Structure 1
Amino acid sequence: MGIPVDEAALLALFFEAFFYGIFLTLYLVTLFILLKKTGIQRQLLLPVASLLLCIATAHLIVDFVRALEAFIFKVDTSADIYYSNLASPLLVASTALSNIQTILADGVVVWRCYVLNNRSPFISIPGCIVLLVNVATGYYVSWSLAHSQSILMSNGVYECIVIFDTLTLLLCVASTFLNAWRIYRTRRFMPEGLGAFLPVFVVIIESGALYATNIFMLLITFFIQSNALYIMLDIVAPIVGITFCLIILQVHFNVGGNSPN
């Protein structure tokens, strides 16, 4: 038996708050590290990390307000009907924030892969194309929901959501593989033995696995039309921030050998 939509929404809010707490803690550690840096590491990474935190905070506030409206203020409407209304302005805002957060994360993924692979255009060009496609599809999804007057998904929105999440997953997996391969190539002839392979697994676990797993589960719940989709969707914002902070910590502690400037 599937989980009811109102219970799924409450669970989504709980897990979002939980992961937001982790993100906030990692952000404070990252902030402490970046304030000691100079150059691009401070000028670029610090504003991006702060922007990710602001978006995740706004997303959490929007979802909290939605929960208040569904269970307290909208007494004449059941929570199931409230959360099923895809044309709700707050849902549109929540979706737009998730899309912006995901696109920012994809940009960071492309940048990190680009730097680690000697600033190769063969890395940056396909990555930028994927980013542009995701910007277009994410905008279309938000625009369609904002102009929808029903609880039904508009034409083309389903396909755009699939394209958006699939490209994000492929980008994450591909960049993680390329980073791991790059590190393996630079470490395989070093005298550390098996210890030379440790950074590969660190990159996979820290920079890719958490984010990729979240997007993969989001796609699965979307395909099977499970209400667990609400959980996977709402935790995207803090998960993105967590992944970004882990990448910065990886660079700071020189995991993988090359630290971008």
Structure 2
Amino acid sequence: MAVTDITLDRAYLAAIWLETLFYGMNIVLFSSCLYVLIARRRTPRVNRYLVGIAVLMFCFSTCHVFLGFYRLIMGFIVLRNQPGGPAAFFSDVSIPANVAKVGLHTVNSIVGDSVVVWRCFLVWGRSWKMCLIPMLLVCASAICGFGQTVYFARGQKYHSAFAPALVRWNGSLFSLSLATNMVVTILVALRAWHMLRLSGGAAGFRYFKILIIIIESGMIYSVALICEVTLYFLGLNSFYIVYDPIGQLTGIVPTMIIILAGLELTSNDVQSRFSRTQQLSLSAPRFRPGNTTTTDGSTAADDARSIPLDTMQFASVDSTFSKRKSAPGLAVDKFDDPELGETKTVLITPLDERTAE
């Protein structure tokens, strides 16, 4: 069955509309990220590295959407009467604005993938072994991305991104980026699920755990890359509808990860808080209204449910009358009871008080 496709100019128009929508989300997330890292930080100093990464990705995303609008105006307004119309304009991949856009997309993808790999590094207890393959994939993606940019700049004779000479570079870049995110997604998701599973929790917390795993592992970005790679190798213009918004997702997903880290809501933070709570509950004595705490940490009510009545120990009479020793007009005396073989304590009322009665 033949796959129905749309024209290039319509695909680009839909792509820029979606990218603008995602850019609005990016603005909100970027503002929230700065607020969390600066105004609401939980450390004495501002984490300059995270702030710098967030600002860098937002600047690249802003330039990307700006170049998209520039191409939109040039294709549909300024050069609309040129031979071939807007479709011919958008098919020319060697236009400087398009080359710059591709370069920015590559850099933003590398930074975003690096943040996801960094998250994987932290989730796995700062283990370089678990992140070795993703790091190599990121380096390979960078090589293919910059090589793609060079070929686009020299591609005056290519009037399509699906030209055979460009498919090698584009296909390699998209495949490596997808492989990077899939590997990291699986590694982070497995580790995060294992750590959050230790926290237990009610049904409401389970949904929160799923949300953390989706964001922390970059699963949203991986799904978008799957759609991008599929549409590209099918040779459909619908590929552009996914390709341009991904330029914003490369900044949105890492920014969400940074916000989670700043709010201490990552899987590491949840699990560590749960561990501290368990340690405190085990080490601290438990006090309940109306109950006494035994030496092993259990309450008297707990013991009453588990220990037979004939083996329970009761407080001696001495402890009952010890509080009344200092009461005025009262005296305490002790004597041995030969029948019971124990010492008994009695309360003696002074003679003058008995006389008064």
TM (norm. structure 2) is: 0.67
2:21 pairs with 18, 21, 27, which one? 18
1:127–1:69: structure 2 CA closer, same or farther, 3 Å change rule? same
- Unpaired runs of 5+ residues, structure 1, are none
Query: C-alpha distance in 2, partners of 1:200/1:178?
Result: 16
Write out aligned runs for 1:55-74 (5 A). Answer: 55-74=60-79
- Which segment drifts farther, 174-183 or 20-29? 174-183
Computed over aligned residues only, the root mean square deviation of the Cα atoms, in angstroms, reads: 2.1
Deviation at 1:152, TM superposition (A): 4.8
Deviation at 1:201, TM superposition (A): 1.6
1:249 pairs with 248, 259, 265, which one? 259
Deviation at 1:255, TM superposition (A): 2.9
* Structure 1 position 172 matched with structure 2 position 177: no
Q: Equivalent residue for 1:211?
A: 221
* Structure 1 position 44 matched with structure 2 position 49: yes
Deviation at 1:235, TM superposition (A): 0.6
Query: C-alpha distance in 1, partners of 2:44/2:87?
Result: 50
Query: C-alpha distance in 2, partners of 1:10/1:184?
Result: 40
Query: C-alpha distance in 2, partners of 1:68/1:190?
Result: 53
2:268 pairs with 251, 255, 258, which one? 258
- The count of aligned residue pairs is 259
What's the secondary structure of 1:35's corresponding residue? helix
1:89–1:189: structure 2 CA closer, same or farther, 3 Å change rule? closer
1:256–1:152: structure 2 CA closer, same or farther, 3 Å change rule? closer
Contact kept, 8 Å, 1:190 with 1:196, in 2: the verdict is no
* Structure 1 position 142 matched with structure 2 position 149: yes
Write out aligned runs for 1:162-241 (5 A). Answer: 162-192=171-201, 197-198=206-207, 200-207=209-216, 208-241=218-251
Larger radius of gyration: 2
1:204–1:11: structure 2 CA closer, same or farther, 3 Å change rule? same
What's the secondary structure of 1:182's corresponding residue? helix
Contact kept, 8 Å, 1:107 with 1:131, in 2: the verdict is yes
Query: C-alpha distance in 1, partners of 2:229/2:70?
Result: 26
Deviation at 1:236, TM superposition (A): 1.3
Deviation at 1:29, TM superposition (A): 0.7
Deviation at 1:123, TM superposition (A): 2.3
Query: C-alpha distance in 2, partners of 1:191/1:92?
Result: 50
- Which segment drifts farther, 142-151 or 204-213? 204-213
Contact kept, 8 Å, 1:187 with 1:196, in 2: the verdict is no
Query: C-alpha distance in 2, partners of 1:40/1:117?
Result: 25
Paired letter, 1:45: L
What's the secondary structure of 1:3's corresponding residue? coil
Q: Equivalent residue for 1:80?
A: 87
Write out aligned runs for 1:23-38 (5 A). Answer: 23-36=26-39, 37=41, 38=43
Higher relative contact order, structure no. (Cα contacts within 8 Å, ≥ 6 residues apart) = 1
